[in-house]
Amino acid sequence: MSNRLPILAFIGAVLLFLLYSAIFVVNERQQAIVLRFGEIVDVKTEPGLYFKMPFAFLEADNVQIIEDRILRFDLDDIRVQVSGGKFYEVDAFIAYSISDPRVFRQAVSGSVQLAEQRLRTRLDAALRRVYGLRGFEAALSEERASMMREVAEDLRPAAASLGLEIKDVRIRRTDLTAEVSQQTYDRMKAERLAEAERLRARGREAAARIRARADREVVEITAAAQREAEILRGEGEGERNAIFAEAFSRDADFFEFYRSMAAYREALNASGTTMLLSPDSEFFRFFNDAQGTAPSGAASQGGAANQ
């Protein structure tokens, strides 16, 4: 009995190894391709426990696990040209899933990396075509969604040939290239400078109109004031003459005396004034006599000087 135990243990171990080699598990995020001597014999798309022929190392049955979830592939810095001729840089991504494991295995040997390399070329071409038919503003408007649907439709035949299904295509960024950005900046700067110059020209024109109107109003107001002053001055002169006339009519002698005193004040008030007059001049008739009568014999005297 003791001699049989090693044999039984060996047999048990071989059985366990065969059982382990014949079992494989597929979870809910996976698909499985069963290969027998390199040929696809079965595809498991539902999660569960499955059996296959053992001895995979002898190429009897191999199992290749394939993703059964939505995958994402990003493509950055794609250089596209819009209808206006300018170039832009676009970042986009594709959401896809492996819909046909058999085709996926046959097309790219079940390699996700190889499949994405082929999608990169198709996505680049589709984006260039879609952007080339439109202007830059389309990617920033409501037309963006239709552009993405158009890119997805372009990709679907190529993706189906790889066993893939395109779920969605999105653009993450659309931006100017460095040279186009500088050109756009220079153009916007020139437009703003031109607009500023137009505003300054309008301001100078408005200032000239306001200044001319103000100068005209100054002239008009000054002329009106001068006219009013002349009128008032004339009226004042008239009133003064009327007062003088009335005073003269009331007392002619006093009026003559008053006017002579005023003349003396005006003539003799300034210092350094020299007058050469005859003593019997009518100008001095109130000097010797308050009545204004010149003294007798004054005509025989010489001229007098008053400093």
Asked whether 118 and 166 are in contact (CB, 8 A), the reply is no
DSSP assignment, residue 114? H
Winning range, highest mean pLDDT, from 26-30, 58-62, 93-97, 280-284: 93-97
Pair 220, 124 in one domain: no
Pair 91, 161 in one domain: yes
Both tokens of 164, joined, read 């893939």
What is the largest distance, in Å, between two alpha-carbon atoms of the chain? Answer: 197
- Please tell me the distance from the alpha carbon of residue 56 to that of residue 303, in angstroms, as a whole number: 162
Of 85, 21, 98, 75, give the one whose Cα is nearest residue 53.
Answer: 21
Both tokens of 174, joined, read 């659309």
**183 vs 221 pLDDT, higher one:** 221
Of 244, 269, 292, which residue constitutes the final position of a domain? 244
How many structural domains does the chain have? 3
- Please tell me the distance from the alpha carbon of residue 244 to that of residue 205, in angstroms, as a whole number: 57
Residue 158 lies in a domain: yes
pLDDT at residue 73 greater than cutoff 60: yes
Of 198, 226, 244, which residue constitutes the final position of a domain? 244
Domain CATH code at residue 74: 3.30.479.30
Of 7, 40, 67, which residue constitutes the final position of a domain? 67
**Which 3-state string (H, E, C) describes 16-64?**
HHHHHHCEEEECCCEEEEEEECCEEEEEECCCEEEECCCCHHHCCCEEE
Instruction: Please provide residue 279's backbone torsions phi and psi, each rounded to the nearest 5 degrees.
Output: -60, -30
Residue 291 lies in a domain: no
Tens of pLDDT, residue by residue over 224-240, are 999 999 999 888 888 88
Residue span of the structural domain in which 197 resides: 182-244
Residue 295 lies in a domain: no
221 confidence band (pLDDT: 50, 70, 90): very high
Does the predicted TM-score (pTM) go above 0.75?
Answer: no
Pair 112, 140 in one domain: yes
Write the CA distances from 26 to 45, 47, 66, 262, integer angstroms: 8, 5, 10, 136
Pair 94, 116 in one domain: yes
Pair 186, 169 in one domain: no
